[in-house]
Structure 1
Amino acid sequence: MENQCIYGCAHGVIGLDFGSTYSAAAVLLPSVDGYSTRNMVFFRKFPTSLHVIHGENDVELQFDPVDRVMLRKDRLCHLKALLMNQTNPRNGDNRMVNSFYSSWSGLDLPDEDVVVAKFLKGLFEKALGVARGLDAWHDRLRPAITITYPISWSPEELSMFRSAVRSAGIADHACRTCRVRYITEHRAVVTTMQHEHHNVLAELNSDSMIVADFGGMTDDAAVVPYPDSIPLRYPEEEELELLDRRMLHNSSYTGSMSADAEFRALLLQKGTLKQIFDKSAEAKASLIEALFQQAASLQHNVKCIVLTGGFSLNLRLEAQVKKKLRERLQGDCPVFLETFDRRLAVCTGAVLWRLPHLLRRLIDSQDA
């Protein structure tokens, strides 16, 4: 029983967000006064990439913790697309994706889950290194671990992702009682918003929230209902979140781009760039509008929207999306809620979602 969790879980939590262009980890360890979100620390990785080292006879992939330029010939970027059937550059017809991944041609890559496992292992080891640098760390700690996944992924994509997590050996460092758990990125964001805006959400008196994730590869928007109460047990790994498919919309951009084969850089004229952003803003606004109308027809009381994902940080894009929705929905337009950092909302929620479970187990074990 050595190193196992003997008090429900007082070993801390690590949350991992494997993003299309931007990945992050959140770490929270208990202090003498218990858990405090003020003590949460983060590790950020941009881009989600591996360093490509060309040898005489093969190619070696290494995790590089330093932020780099994305589209370079020594970068293997957008690793998340390796698991995405609908945008897999090896067999997809998405022109944007094919342009991004022209650098993959000629590379003899291992299986997709092996490549992703190498990145996940590097991301987790950096998060663990951050945890070990905290005053609250001691060598017997084995934190609970929460890993997020896109709400729109198919069972096949999820299976590949979980295979990559197993190959990365992350569970070897986890609390054996609490183990590795999975939640959707959208659920994690809602958990973060409930923590940051609990008073506002109580005043709005709604039963669900629209979470629009504008990522590097696809747009996923979903109506996520608030939990009625904090569950008193962990969901099993197999109990992956399956929302009403009518309440989920996703799309991917299919415009044309050209890529420079030497530097992996996208060559865009100013007019083309504006056209891309205008088209993208219209698609994103229409996506949310359709979802809001559908939610209303199904008697969902949606009064707030939160934008996340790398593309949501583009001020021009954000302003256009908000303007279009306010003009179209007018007085019915939900309130736009802001999180402290859109790039960290998912990994933060991955930690916060775990805390009620851990505290409940801790209280139960102490009462016993």
Structure 2
Amino acid sequence: MLISVCRKEMATLKSSVEVFFCGANSWCKCLVGNRILGFEHFLPEQSTFDEEVSVEIGVQWITVINEPQTVIKWYMETSPRCPCMILFVLQHGHVSQRDVEAFAHFQQMFGKKMEENTLVVMVSSDDKKSARPNKVKNENLETVLYQSGRKVFDFNKNMKQNDLIKQLMTRWKSVPDLHIYKHESSSLSVERETWRTQEAMTQEHISGGNHAAIKRNNTLTIVLLGQTGSGKSATGNTILRKHHFESYASSVPVTQMCQMAEETVCGIKIRVIDTPDFFDEDLKNQQEQIKKCKELAQPGPDVYLLVMELGRYTDGERAIVQNIQKAFGAEVVKETIVLLTSKEKLRGKTVAEYIKNTDTQLQELIRICGSRCHAFNNKDHSVSQTERLLEMILEMKKKNGSTVEHYSFCKESEKKDCRIQ
């Protein structure tokens, strides 16, 4: 569903704003679309709609178009020349996995422009009777809000047509919300609020002289995540270039609790946190170890390395993204790099060639993590593979808006100053 808004007094300049509706909930899209049009045109049970409907509202013309291929083609052709607003419509408290998948589909189709121009429209559950909201669906909402930049508009079916359009335009142009969209039953929101509260406490400790919780400006914190046997501990040793974590073949997990070690590599002080398999059913103190990991990483890690053995993709790893999002928050994927161990198995092939021909679900996992993937041979003691990983981490942080100038990154293999500018 696409809505074109043109001001008549600016028609000679062909100035317009294009509004693109998307989402998996047909009822909610129809409700919002009809309210904008001012009359009942779209019906949820209809399999197809009229291709184009136009209505004049004051000094604005609104045209609704609903033909997917035409819309997509038109959008891609015109988006460089005019502003486009994407309204992703959801039902408050009842966001399904299908909604998350729909958002991911459009995000993949439109790329960065999707995040820049998206406004999430929340339709109140009072406007549509449905089942009681649950924690999983609230976490689905948190995932969409995070990926959309947290621009949210609460739709009210009693709002007047002109007011609705005006407020939509105003909200779309505003800065993203910094607060968490709260749900009483969402443990994920509680986890994220707790993390931020602890970070605020750390800043208070700094001003108060308590240096125990201070993270030095040039310290890069890496959290290793993954299943038992994936090579997390060996990877930690490779990064630090020193044997800090026990790593050997065993029928039982070697790492039973979170551990931390620090070294200076390539001019950067690196703190690595090795973790047990948090989602192993045999791990008795799961929540205690997750809490310990967060404490060691205060005031927050710079990167999560999702460690997986090349050539092995288990049932547990198929659900690992959802599990780490529940444990560390939906935003974890934006700070995650997939690290494949046993690189020597590639036998001359590149990582890209391996991914291209691997399991489609593993390809999707890597895509969700920003298509960031690196490979280690933990038997290789040269520094070059660690240097490339550090480059990837700093590139990710810059992309996420973080300052990296204070990291004195110097490639040891080149023996020259290469501070990030």
TM-score, L = length of structure 1: 0.24
Relative contact order higher in (CA < 8 Å, ≥ 6 apart): 1
TM-score, L = length of structure 2: 0.22
Larger radius of gyration: 2
